[in-house]
């Protein structure tokens, strides 16, 4: 299959993307977080194609992307007030709510779970596509299973070229990390994946705190220990401490650093990372992909700060570096 590259600024190409989706085909679409691999959420056969293209187990649930919160009642039921409050405050935007699924929703979308993940994305291209055609799309990140999430159309093609019908090129993603996922099916609300919207922001809207466990049992593909991985092994370390022997012994080292690179290290590739968490998050997947292409045998990442602002970044770094 040839993967079409579509330019959303051209109305006929945007219309073609919509038509492909309505025909049950797979189109990678830009969102403000990462690129998603979209299929018509009302078409279970189309949704099944996502699992095949990604190589993802079919019991891993997908997020449904809606044009507006008004469509929520078509997809979920027993929606608590807290979910409406969060939807009002953060949609369109990088927040996914887990809710009780409506019986009308195919179990293919939810991996057989009684709940459904829903968000209203803010990217203008996807927003236009969804509103113009009253579409709802199921979309995981547009990468092969366990690999780095793509933050540009070129990165989508890197792992999915020839496996999907088209990619709609909406430029670089503004957040670069996946949405915050909140389980709104029980009290207190629980963050099951850290993301651009923090526990503090959620609590401010709700007027009460939300839980943010470090480990949980809810089935979230991103909850597996090895995820979001570059092909090259990744290590993280504080440059203020003794450096890991693997890093000092590596012949070909790539480094993502925040401060100065220790003199004892002789990287073949290095990148200065931003000092603030949102900018760092925006660059992380791209930097890891670039490091991967540099031909290094090891990627060393200088540990970022440990405070709350960096939770979403740390979550990705830990999974990206996990070797079981
Ligand atoms: O920012 C994002 O959320 C991106 C963009 C494309 O919207 N999407 C994304 O999808 O990251 P994905 O499939 O790569 O990660 C979504 C996570 C998965 O780990 C999945 O298991 C979890 O959300 N999820 C979806 N529906 C769920 C449900 N009903 N219960 C528990 N977890 C769910
Ligand atoms: Mg993903």
**Residues 81-125 pLDDT 10s:** 999 999 999 999 999 999 999 999 999 999 999 999 999 999 999
Q: Looking at residue 220, what is its pLDDT?
A: 52
Report the distance separating Cα 88 and Cα 206, nearest Å: 11
Q: Which residues contact 295 (CB under 8 A, 6 or more apart)?
A: 252, 268, 269
pLDDT tens for 143-190 read: 999 899 999 999 999 999 999 999 999 999 999 999 999 999 999 999
pLDDT tens, position by position, 132-156: 999 999 999 999 998 999 999 999 9
Round to whole Å and give the CA distance between 146 and 289. 13
Ligand 1 atom nearest the C-alpha of 56 is 13
What does the alpha-carbon distance between residue 135 and residue 156 come to, in Å, rounded to a whole number? 22
- pLDDT the model gives residue 213: 79
Residue 63 C-alpha to ligand 1 middle, in angstroms? Answer: 5
Query: What's the whole-number mean pLDDT along residues 242-252?
Result: 94
Torsion of CA 39, 44, 45, 50, to 10 degrees: 40
Instruction: Report the C-alpha gap between 53 and 159 in whole angstroms.
Output: 10
Relative to beta strand 137-138, strand 63-65 is antiparallel
- Whether residue 198 is predicted with pLDDT greater than 50 in this model: the reply is yes
Alpha carbons 13 and 165: distance in angstroms, whole number: 13
> Which ligand is closest in space to the CA of residue 29?
1
Rounded CA-CA distance 235/21 in Å is 40
What pLDDT score was predicted for residue 215? 56
CA 146 to ligand 1 center in whole angstroms = 13
Q: Which residues line ligand 1 (CB under 6 A)?
A: 31, 33-34, 36, 60-63, 94, 96, 98, 110, 113, 115-117, 139-141, 178-179, 181, 218-222
Task: Say what percent of the chain tops pLDDT 70.
Answer: 97
Cβ proximity of 225 and 306 under 8 Å: no
**Residue 101: both structure tokens together:** 């699924």
Cα(248) to centroid(ligand 2), Å: 32
The C-alpha angle with vertex 38 and arms to 31 and 65, in degrees rounded to 5, equals: 60
Output the six-digit token pair for 292: 């991967």
- Residues 261-303 have pLDDT tens digits of 999 999 999 999 999 999 999 999 999 999 999 999 999 999 9
Q: Is the pLDDT of residue 323 over 90?
A: no
Using alpha carbons, select from 206, 203, 183 the residue that is nearest to residue 82. 206
How far is the C-alpha of 232 from the C-alpha of 217, rounded, in Å?
Answer: 29
Per-residue model confidence (pLDDT) at position 324: 76
Query: Is residue 316 scored above 50 in pLDDT?
Result: yes
Q: What is the pTM of this model?
A: 0.95
Question: 131, 158, 133, 171: which is closest to 34 by C-alpha?
Answer: 171
Question: Residue 183 CA: which ligand is closest?
Answer: 1
Q: What is the mean pLDDT of residues 299-317?
A: 96
pLDDT of 219 > 60? The answer is no
pLDDT value, residue 221: 46
Ligand having the closest approach to the CA of 222:
1
Residue 259 has pLDDT above 90, yes or no: yes
CA of 195 relative to ligand 1 center, distance in Å: 12
Name 181's bridge partners: 96, 193
Mean pLDDT computed over 207-216: 83
Q: What mean pLDDT do residues 214-234 have?
A: 71
Q: Give the per-residue pLDDT at 142.
A: 98
The rounded Å distance from CA 140 to ligand 2 centre is 6
**13-54: pLDDT as tens digits:** 999 999 999 999 999 999 999 999 999 999 999 999 999 999
């Amino acid at each position: 299959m040839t993967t079409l590259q579509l330019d959303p600024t051209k109305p006929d190409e945007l219309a073609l993307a919509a038509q492909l989706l309505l025909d049950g085909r797979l189109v990678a679409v830009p969102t403000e977080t990462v690129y998603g691999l979209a299929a018509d959420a009302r078409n279970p056969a189309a949704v099944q194609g996502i699992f095949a293209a990604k190589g993802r187990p079919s019991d891993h649930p997908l997020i449904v992307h809606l044009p507006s919160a008004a469509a929520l009642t078509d997809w979920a039921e027993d929606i608590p007030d807290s979910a409406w409050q969060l939807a009002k405050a953060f949609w369109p935007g990088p927040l996914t709510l887990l809710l009780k699924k409506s019986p009308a929703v195919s179990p293919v979308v939810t991996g057989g779970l009684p709940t459904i993940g829903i968000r209203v994305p803010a990217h203008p291209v996807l927003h236009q596509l969804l509103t113009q055609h009253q579409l709802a799309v199921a979309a995981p990140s547009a990468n092969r299973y366990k690999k780095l999430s793509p933050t540009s159309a070129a990165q989508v093609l890197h792992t999915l070229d020839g496996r999907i019908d088209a990619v709609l090129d909406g430029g670089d993603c503004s957040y670069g990390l996946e949405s915050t996922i909140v389980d709104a099916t029980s009290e207190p609300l629980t963050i099951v994946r850290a993301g651009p919207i923090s526990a503090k922001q959620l609590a401010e809207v709700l007027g009460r705190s939300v839980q943010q466990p470090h480990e949980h049992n809810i089935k979230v593909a991103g909850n597996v220990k090895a995820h979001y991985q570059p092909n090259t092994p990744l290590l993280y370390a504080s440059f203020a401490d003794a450096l890991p022997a693997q890093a000092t012994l590596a012949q070909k080292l790539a480094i993502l650093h925040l401060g100065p690179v220790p003199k004892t290290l002789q990287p073949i590739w290095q990148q200065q990372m931003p000092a603030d968490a949102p900018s760092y998050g925006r660059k992380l997947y791209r930097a890891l992909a670039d490091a991967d292409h540099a031909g290094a045998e090891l990627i060393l990442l200088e540990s970022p700060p440990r405070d709350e602002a960096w939770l979403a970044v740390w979550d990705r770094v830990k999974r990206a570096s996990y070797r079981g």
